[in-house]
Amino acid sequence: MSAERTGEAAASGPALPRPMVAARDAFGQALVDLGAADPRVVVLDADLATSTKVSMFAAAYPDRFFEVGIAEQNMTSIAAGLATMGFVPFTSTFACFASKRATDQIRIGIAQPRLGVVITGAYSGLLAGKTGKTHQSVQDIAILRSMPEMTVIVPGDAVEVRAAVFAAAEYGAPIYLRLTRDPSPVVFGDDYDFRIGVAVTVREGADVTVMTTGLMLPRALEAADTLAAEGIQAHVLHVPTVKPLDVKAVVEAAERTGLVVTAEEHNVLGGLGGAVAEVLGEHRPTLMRRVGIRDTFGESAPNDQLLQKYGLTAHDVAQACRELTATRR
């Protein structure tokens, strides 16, 4: 039962503003601390170290940092070779490149032999620092989720990023770790007990379930506050591991309210929404709405405008919940 793994008490009283921390900063610091604890950890970069913040690891452990230049395929296969020698490699580039430029290298070199390589995808989703559709990543979850042997982790805040980095190093099998660029609200406390493959109930409610992954978590919590004021109690199940999906938690959360909204900063095809629909379709058919990018590429613009245009705000989540609950009346 996932209720015992509740990360945050159900909202009671007005929500305090959450501190903002960029996942990439948390990622860089986590790698530095992990590197101190685990000498097997090595980091590979394809000329984006200052953007992804693996530069912090490079400064701390120059002999365990490999800069391969702008060559993502080479980087990925080199990581495979290092893993066969007993190291725990983290590769680092943008999510768009990690998932597409080196897909075959991931398949043959890492997934098929089931090597413990952590493929990190920075700047995922639409918030890629005004770089537009070439650098945004709306397909990476779908691509890596369809890769046999691959585990896909999409942290929802800086605390979860840090926990996922440490858990990934111990995992011993291929992981895709999806990261983000800009400051986002911190949701979890320092005592948060992250586990790969486990979904967490972040808020209890009886009327509609919102399942989130990545940065849609704080947006969904904001939506839940709004809905509560309207008399709709939203249950929020956060799903940091999109694959393997926590089937039990997903089915239970769907049964609890009978209505499910999924929310992800990714194409509605093949990501969390797809994964949940597949599972519920087999185990417990449930009326759903998928909040996400509607099978389109993005564009370059300020973050808030992108989230609005592509339907990824707290308002969009709340609206999907309203539509679903309205079907009951």
Partner 1 sequence: MGSDVSHDEVARRLRRRTIDMLWRAQAGHPGGSLSAAEILTVLYFGAMRIDPTRPDWADRDRFVLSKGHAAPIYYATLAERGYFSPELLTTYDELDSMLQAHPFVGLPGIDTCSGSLGQGLSVGIGMALGARLKGSEARVFVLLGDGELQEGQVWEAAMAASSFGLDSLTAIVDANRLQLYGTVESIVSLEPLPDKWRAFGWNVLEVDGHDCAALAAALCAAAAPEITGRPTVIIAHTTKGKGVSFMENSVEWHSAAVTDELRERALAELVSGAAS
Active site residues: 72
Q: Which is nearer to partner 1, 69 or 189 (CB)?
A: 69
| Contact between 317 and 217 (Cβ < 8 Å) | no
Rounded Cα distance, 180 and 130, in Å: 13
276 to 140, 149, 154, 254: CA distances (angstroms): 17, 19, 15, 10
**Closest of 87, 71, 34, 39 to residue 79, by C-alpha:** 87
47 sits in the region (left: phi over 0; alpha: psi -120 to 50; else beta) called left
Q: Which is nearer to partner 1, 78 or 253 (CB)?
A: 78
Q: Which is nearer to partner 1, 37 or 229 (CB)?
A: 37
Q: Which is nearer to partner 1, 61 or 192 (CB)?
A: 61
Minimum distance, C-beta of residue 42 to partner 1, in the bound complex (Å): 7
| Contact between 244 and 197 (Cβ < 8 Å) | yes
| Contact between 273 and 105 (Cβ < 8 Å) | no
Q: Which is nearer to partner 1, 80 or 202 (CB)?
A: 80
Minimum distance, C-beta of residue 270 to partner 1, in the bound complex (Å): 23
| Contact between 211 and 239 (Cβ < 8 Å) | yes
Minimum distance, C-beta of residue 44 to partner 1, in the bound complex (Å): 9
Rounded Cα distance, 260 and 204, in Å: 14
Q: Which is nearer to partner 1, 74 or 308 (CB)?
A: 74
**Closest of 136, 154, 151, 252 to residue 204, by C-alpha:** 252
What is the residue type of 299? E
| Contact between 79 and 89 (Cβ < 8 Å) | yes
Q: What tokens does 185 get?
A: 């609200």
Minimum distance, C-beta of residue 166 to partner 1, in the bound complex (Å): 21
Rounded Cα distance, 226 and 316, in Å: 12
DSSP state of 109: I
The residues that touch partner 1, with contacts defined as CB under 8 A, are: 42, 63-64, 66, 68-69, 71, 73-74, 76-87, 89, 104-105, 107-109, 112-113
Q: What tokens does 172 get?
A: 């011993």
Minimum distance, C-beta of residue 292 to partner 1, in the bound complex (Å): 31
Minimum distance, C-beta of residue 15 to partner 1, in the bound complex (Å): 47
Rounded Cα distance, 236 and 214, in Å: 13
